[in-house]
Amino acid sequence: MEKISTTVNEKTIKELQKKRQMTVLIAFCFGPICIGLYVLFGFLNSSWNNVLNMILLVLGAFLIALSILIEFQLQKRALVYKKNAYESTYEFFDDHILLTAYHNGEKFEQQNIKYKDLYGYYETANYVVLKLTDFHSLPINKVSGLTDFLSNKGVTRRTK
């Protein structure tokens, strides 16, 4: 068992939240726009408009469904950072990682993350980032031997 203490700074949390918000915002805004164009073009009668209308309808429905799916997946599987919760401790066991988050020095949340549930990991200059889903990542301060440990546990090395 290894134990790593780390501090997730406010900038990192805001970057992760911004990526999630932008993905959902783009999908949720362009979906209704496509459906609106479908309705607008529906009033025009021509043969190619029917094909365009079907493309717009399918694209709009797909984008709306995508934004809802992203939001539900993030709520279901991702660790939600509480406001002002910057300190976390990661304990690496044989079959899972125990993440303990602290708020003003008091423990307020714990989460078990199984290695088999991780989508993978990648390295940045300062962090080893665990990918919980395609859309959510959890940064851990870089510690010597951490990537080898994760690889030995079967976690796949990925790119951003």
Q: What is the pLDDT, as a whole number, of residue 73?
A: 65
Give residues with Cβ within 8 angstroms of 149, minimum separation 6. Answer: 2, 92
Give the rounded percent of residues in the chain with a pLDDT score beyond 70: 69
3-state helix vs strand vs coil in the chain, percent to 5: 45, 30, 25
User: Cα–Cα distance between 52 and 60 in angstroms, integer?
Assistant: 12
Q: Is the pLDDT of residue 138 over 60?
A: yes
Query: What pTM did the predictor assign?
Result: 0.47
User: Cα–Cα distance between 65 and 119 in angstroms, integer?
Assistant: 22
Tens digit of each residue's pLDDT (9 = 90 or more) over 44-70: 666 666 777 778 778 878 877 877 777
Q: What is the pLDDT, as a whole number, of residue 85?
A: 46
Q: Is the domain 2-9+81-152 a CATH 1.20.120 member? A: no
Give the rounded percent of residues in the chain with a pLDDT score beyond 90: 0
Q: Which residues lie across from 88 on neighbouring strands? A: 6, 101
